Amino acid sequence: MKLVNYTPWPHLLFERRDTFDRPLGVLALQGTFAIDESAPLRALREQAPVQVGDVHRGDPATSSLKRAGATATFKPKSEIHVDAVAHAPTGKPRTSWPIRIRVGKLQQDLVVRGPHQWRHAPVLGWRKGAIEPCTEVPLHDELAFGGSHRIDGKIVEERRNPVGTGFLPRGIDTRDPIAAPQIVAVDEPLHLPGSRVAPRGCGPIPSYFAPRCDRIGTIDARWLAEKWPCVPEDFDYAHYQAAHPDLVYPGYLKGDEPIELVHLLPGGGSVLSALPDWRVWTLLRLGDGRMLRWPTQLDTVHFDLASPDPSEHRAYLTWRAVFPLSASLRRVESRMTRSDQRSRVEAA
């Protein structure tokens, strides 16, 4: 099988097997775009290679994901990942302020807060301290609700975000203060110490976080003896959805959807942009002369606005095609069209 990539996007072609042990070809194409404050995403002449592996902020066992690799077999829906810092409006210190992430029909409104702690006092129990005004809050899972603690020799954790903060299980050591979550939902009730809420992160989540880890299927002796290395029969492909649940799109993105990223630029600025209107598709050429146009979905949009220099801000778009592998498949072609028929990559 030969691959010919007629698009400007770097590609990654690999083989997987489905739940019935049938071979699949997976083609991922990943484009790199500059993010301008008030213009559509702009494709760069120099394209970054496809991100293969996950990138953590520190120890993979104890830190959040900075960027997810592109080696998923299949994603049932598109998803949005955001690696950014929330900046206070006008750049002046505040105890809290809102942020917004919107792509097409998906919108997530959150509130970020300055650093504050929960302290335990006899009789009174846990109490929240004063919030310190600040100008920046990194949108990392470490600052969202969650956490893990060792209690009586066992690890007790918030499975949806073991690296977060604010999780106070029964039996926790009360001598040390606990950092309170700094990323919360706009409509979240008063977050009292000991209450349990959904983590409100923005970046991709590791495969061992819930709900991803609950979608792997049945891993037992029968699977190990009869199916390994194939995925279990009850494997749920939503396992590959690495975004926080609120950032999983209702279906697939087409391209050209509007983008709104509020208070995620230095000084409290916002991005009003749009996805590019390119359509990527795959052509399968078979040995008998047939040609099949195969679905290729824009399934991942990753915004990287972490740098204090806006000229370094990037968006990474991943298109994926999943097709059956057979002896009759001779050639795979990646192609691209644009609504105005201009498919050239614009210079940076």
Read off the tokens for 64. Answer: 């959040």
Q: Percent of the chain beyond pLDDT 70?
A: 96
One-character DSSP codes across 118-183: EEEETTTEEEE-PPPPBSEEE--GGGBEE-EEEETTEEEE-TT-TT-EE---TT---SS-EEPPSE
Length of the chain: 348
Tell me the mean pLDDT in the region 108-116.
96
Which pLDDT score is estimated for 345? Answer: 43
CA 7 to chain centre: 24
188-243 pLDDT, tens digit per residue, is: 766 667 778 899 999 999 999 999 999 999 999 998 988 888 889 999 999 999 99
Which pLDDT score is estimated for 56? Answer: 96
Per DSSP bridges, beta strands 96-103 and 258-265 are antiparallel
Cβ 38 vs Cβ 272: under 8 Å:
yes
Q: Which residue has the higher pLDDT, 271 or 340?
A: 271
What is the phi/psi pair of residue 86, to 5°?
A: -80, 130
Which pLDDT score is estimated for 336? Answer: 93
Which pLDDT score is estimated for 191? Answer: 65
One-character DSSP codes across 53-71: S-EESS-TTTS-EEE--S-
44-95 pLDDT, tens digit per residue, is: 999 999 999 999 999 998 999 999 999 999 999 999 999 999 999 999 999 9
Confidence grade of residue 174 (pLDDT, cut at 50, 70, 90): confident
Q: Identify the bridge partners of residue 145 per DSSP, sorted by sequence position.
A: 165
257-290 pLDDT, tens digit per residue, is: 999 999 999 999 999 999 999 999 999 999 888 9
Q: What is the mean pLDDT of the chain?
A: 92
What is the phi/psi pair of residue 240, to 5°?
A: -80, -5
pLDDT at 300 over 70: yes
Which pLDDT score is estimated for 230? Answer: 85
H helices present in 120-273, as ranges: 221-226
pLDDT at 347 over 70: no
Which pLDDT score is estimated for 190? Answer: 67
Q: By mean pLDDT, which of 290-294, 306-310, 339-343 is the weakest?
A: 339-343
Read off the tokens for 338. Answer: 């644009």
pLDDT at 348 over 60: no
In this prediction the pTM is 0.93
pLDDT at 305 over 90: yes
